[in-house]
Amino acid sequence: VVGASHFSGMESELVVSHHGRLWQSAFSQGFTWRTPTPLGSFSLSPQQFGTDGEHHKFIAEQKHSFILHILSCMADPQADALSAHAYGTAWDIIFSFASSMALKGAILLDIPNILAKAGDNSPLTAQQIAAQLPSKCPDVKSLSRVLRILASTGVFTCSPSVKNEGEMQYRYGLTDVGRLFIVHDNPGTLSPYLLFLQNELFQGTWHRLHQCVLDGGGAFEKVYGQDIWTCMRENTHMLDVFNAGMVSLNAGMMQWILEFYDGFKYVHSLVDIGGGLGQSLLHIVKSYPHIEGINFDLPHVIARAPNIPGVRHVGGSMFESVPSADALHIKMVLHNWDDESCRQILRNCHKAMPDKGRLIITEVVLADTTMCSRIEQRKLALDLAMLAGTSGGKERTVEQWKQLLCSAGFHRVEIYGLKSLVSVMEAFKA
């Protein structure tokens, strides 16, 4: 037995690799191979094994049955193991969408909030969750399948319960990951951000990535015939989905940024360029009440911005000019644009800054290496999102950021939080 794993009694996986002669020798003595699992046990006779170097993968699932899947039949046992690993990795990639789509379904069904309301010490069965759904006849079996995959990925907890009509029941609760998707009384919820990324209006662009390679240009324009900003100006529903996603993302991101960057304490007046509904300034001014905040964005965006104490909303275009202040702040905006567009924005920032002022940039900074940590993989995923959703937008390396800022007239750049998902850069005139 090469490996065995199970998850809360729901699934057991056994990978068996053997050398045929060894097994044939054991079987010739009358032995039968038998393995226990969290759900029972099963036996294999000699006839169920083949020749040297075969590799079998046994997946045992609930419902009292075991499914045999032959991954490969290869002569070399070492190559056999590598093939199984490659096959498993490919399978993970192919179905990587399943968990996020299941989570979208759970959010639309309000399941994180249902579990939160029940409390940490009162996990619920699928039947109990179904009873709170807005349906007279919810399909509990379908619900159980959604809950099961989200438990396997760490969104929900799962514990066995009493048997019901011969089948094991399970009770579900929230993990720390699951709590990030509670909507009620949770300003840092990521649910609107996920719903934005998984929205049909935005998902279609990912199917055109190959055309970006063949023809150039952005995927969004290939689907809608115009860039995302023009499209949202004309489609208020798309704008609302986008704004909700950005507000959702901002809350957690700003809380985290303010923990490792304290440069705002030296600022008296601050313009947030492309600040959307003003959520970034809301958190900054709350932490530094002495700051006079100016939220700057397009007029149709500012028209939807709420009143925020200590913040004044100003409409305009960053491609024409930006308001002046002690410091300018621009967060997760420049990655939406190509280099020439960024230079135009940065030159306008340079003009608006006092000689001793600073430009504070919050952006993803890619590592200039081929070694990919989990954080770097997330950064690369965001880079691909820029290819799918913008016209020329991209994430940049340290050197690319420095070159871009230098070309716009900035002479000194300091970077904080390089090992994090997003970094803070300070750019100075001299």
Active site residues: 335, 363, 395
Asked if residues 412 and 430 have their Cβ atoms less than 8 Å apart, the reply is: yes
Could you give the C-alpha distances from 298 to 96, 154, 251, 332, in angstroms and in order? 36, 40, 21, 16
For 386, the token pair is 């820029």
Amino acid symbol at 106: A
